């Protein structure tokens, strides 16, 4: 359960993807909800929000220093408690005053959107081999 943060509507989400102990790439995800807080469901057997299937939902992005600092701190906390994960995705959104907050941390079966960053697949393969 996540609280609603209105900045997502304008700014979307920023995700910082770590492979091993390093930042591999950054993603930008636009809002899934449409007007009136509704996420239309896709046609067919797969019952997901239609936006989740759109090619441009998640694209290569950038992170500002505050976002990178928070993502690094969250990753460091995970690594200290559980060891360095092979991969992790730290999702960030802006709070009511524009400061980044962690909305989600994915370390089990996340979508890493490897196709958005040159060399990401190779970095992941190397991290898996090294683990």
pLDDT, tens only, 72-108? 999 999 999 999 999 999 999 999 899 999 999 999 8
E strands within the chain?
Answer: 13-19, 22-29, 58-60, 87-94, 100-106
In eight-state DSSP terms, residue 42 is P
How far apart CA 124 and CA 131 sit, in angstroms, is 11
Give the C-alpha separation, 94 to 63, whole Å.
Answer: 12
Rg (Cα) of the chain, in Å, rounded? 15
Q: pTM for the full model?
A: 0.83
7-130 has CATH 3.40.50.620 classification: no
Note the residue count of the chain. 131
- Is the pLDDT confidence value at 6 over 70? yes
Average pLDDT over residues 44-56: 66
Q: What is the pLDDT of residue 70?
A: 98
Whole-angstrom distance, CA of residue 119 vs CA of residue 131 = 18
Band (16; pLDDT cuts 50, 70, 90): very high
């Amino acid at each position: 359960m996540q609280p609603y943060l209105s900045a997502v509507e304008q700014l979307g989400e920023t995700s910082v993807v770590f492979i091993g102990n390093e930042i591999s790439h950054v993603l930008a995800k636009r809002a899934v909800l449409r007007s009136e807080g509704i996420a239309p469901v896709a046609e067919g057997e797969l019952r997901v929000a239609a936006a989740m299937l759109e090619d441009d939902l998640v694209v290569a992005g950038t992170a500002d220093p505050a976002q990178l600092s928070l993502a690094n701190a969250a990753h460091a906390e995970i690594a200290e408690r559980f060891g360095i994960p092979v991969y992790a995705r730290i999702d960030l959104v802006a709070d009511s005053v524009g400061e980044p907050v962690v909305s989600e941390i994915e370390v089990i079966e996340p979508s890493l959107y490897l196709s958005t960053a040159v060399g990401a697949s190779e970095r992941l393969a190397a991290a898996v081999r090294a683990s």
